[in-house]
Amino acid sequence: MTGPTDDEDLHDAAEEIRKETAEKAPELAEHDRLGELEKALEEAQTKALYAAAETQNVRRRLEAEKAQASAYAASAFARDMLAIKDHIDRALAAVSDELRADETAANFLAGIEATARELEAAFARQGITRIQSVGEKLDPHRHQAMIEVPSDTAEPGTIVDEMQAGYMLKDRLLRPALVGVAKAP
């Protein structure tokens, strides 16, 4: 018995068998065709569902990024305003009691203090809050230790001095507080 020996002969033989089957039992050929179409339809539906899910995921990600960008868009401006706040605070801290007693200087200082209060109110409206430091444990996510101070009264790792105030913009660090931390004497 001789049979097909190469791939082309095998393919031709398979085609011939399919044709004979289709001629003798057309309902089987039609059933095979229907099964192939159902399988193709199922694959197309699966691909469409995956594409719709991916589109929805992309839309959600973009909406979240947009909301986050608008919530924190003023970060650079807020950092710049912190420098102004620092200068006003230093100026007010440097005023002596003698100067505060002078009526002309007192009126001038009242204007500077009102400006400082208004700046703090603007910070509060924008979600900018001052980080509590003195007396707290050092938190490297909110504080930057500048010096260690020997202390008998404070536990090591506790903040005993604040050189520059730190601020948060909502839940993000805007600027760490520069602090002095207690160490064992």
- Whole-number Cα distances in Å, 75 to 71, 78, 171: 9, 5, 12
The 10 Å Cβ neighbour count of residue 161 is 15
Beta-strand ranges (E) seen in 67-142 are: 128-130
Each residue's pLDDT tens digit, 97-128: 998 899 888 999 999 999 999 999 999 998 99
- Whole-number Cα distances in Å, 80 to 11, 14, 75, 86, 175: 77, 79, 9, 10, 11
pLDDT grade, residue 1 (50/70/90)? very low
pTM given for the model: 0.62
